[in-house]
Amino acid sequence: MATFPYRLFHAKFDILLDRVPILGKILSFVFGVFEYFMLETFRFLDSKLNINTFKIVNRYIFKSRWGGKVIPLNVNLDIETKFLPSQEILALLSRSKVTGISNCYCRETQRKHSDTPNCDHPIKTCIHIGFGKSLREIPYKSENLIKVSKREVKKLLEESDRRGLVHQIIYFPNPLFYYVVCNCCPCCCVIMNKFLKSGSPQMIKSDFIAYTDLIKCNNCGFCEEYCNFGARKLIAEKLHFFPEYCFGCGLCVSKCPETAINLRKK
């Protein structure tokens, strides 16, 4: 049986998914197919009733089985770090059949319903892989889907990293089964934005944590600016790190001008 680093996913249902992975792939696929309509329904209810539909549904229906897991880019890992193909986004995608890239629902919807965009990040940033995948070894069909090469996917991920976007696999019914790879900003991303505000939907940390070489660090505060999770704070002109808040996304690594930060396995 798989050993989940998340206590939440040790239920009998997860044991069944581990023994019959095709069941998880089918559920992931079906959920991905209907995700757009589900998100539109939630958005409509939120706007009309002024309620946090995600929080209610996550608590009583999904029970945290839908959400995102952060996966870093290899350039942000410590050079000596050994990682599994499921722990780094390029390694994960290299073993998958990428079907294409489509529009980001979150950024596209925000701009459709507002005169002022929350950010200037590109729309076409969601990576699709086909039938629901298991992390042991992704499906939202979009009219905006375009076929791309693995090289173009790599360029997209590197550009997303440069822009400070967080790489996530969006999963259902547990973190082993995912149906799309997203590059997320906290101002637009449904999962990330809702998580940062209310803890719902579920968002899971990567298998890494940021390590800072205090000798190299000059307390410039650049890493604080790009840390979406509040793990880095400049207090009295000195950098303070709060490891319990670190999601291991690696953005602080690529933004540090002194190359004083890297990701290491927990």
- Reported residue count of the chain is 266
Residue 64 CB contacts under 8 Å (≥ 6 apart), including other chains? 8, 58, 200, 201, 202
Residue 134 banded pLDDT, cuts 50, 70, 90 = low
Provide mean pLDDT across the span 208-217.
Answer: 94
Cα→Cα distances 226→97, 213, 219, 248, Å: 31, 18, 14, 12
pLDDT score at 227: 96
Say whether pLDDT at 155 is over 60: yes
pLDDT score at 132: 60
Cα→Cα distances 254→50, 115, 184, 265, Å: 38, 32, 16, 17
Provide mean pLDDT across the span 77-98.
Answer: 88
Provide mean pLDDT across the span 97-108.
Answer: 89
Provide mean pLDDT across the span 53-80.
Answer: 91
Q: What's the CA gap between 176 and 134, in Å, rounded?
A: 5
pLDDT score at 1: 30
Q: What's the CA gap between 179 and 133, in Å, rounded?
A: 6
What is the residue whose two structure tokens read 């998914």?
17
pLDDT score at 8: 59
Domains of the chain: 7-204 (no CATH), 211-265 (3.30.70.20)
pLDDT score at 94: 86
Provide mean pLDDT across the span 195-209.
Answer: 91
pTM to 2 decimals? 0.88
Say whether pLDDT at 113 is over 80: yes
pLDDT score at 131: 62
Say whether pLDDT at 266 is over 50: yes
Q: What's the CA gap between 184 and 238, in Å, rounded?
A: 29
- If you average pLDDT over every residue of the chain, what do you get? 88
Provide mean pLDDT across the span 92-114.
Answer: 89
pLDDT score at 135: 55
pLDDT score at 80: 85
Residue 165 CB contacts under 8 Å (≥ 6 apart), including other chains? 121, 125, 183, 184, 185
Burial (Cβ within 10 Å: 0-12, 13-18, ≥19) of residue 235: exposed
In the DSSP assignment, the letter for residue 59 is I
Residue 138 banded pLDDT, cuts 50, 70, 90 = very low
Higher pLDDT, 265 or 199: 265
Higher pLDDT, 109 or 78: 109
Quote the percentage of the chain above a pLDDT of 70: 91
pLDDT score at 78: 87
Cα→Cα distances 218→74, 75, 88, 211, 228, Å: 24, 22, 28, 15, 21
Q: What's the CA gap between 256 and 8, in Å, rounded?
A: 34
Residue 139 banded pLDDT, cuts 50, 70, 90 = very low
Say whether pLDDT at 140 is over 60: no
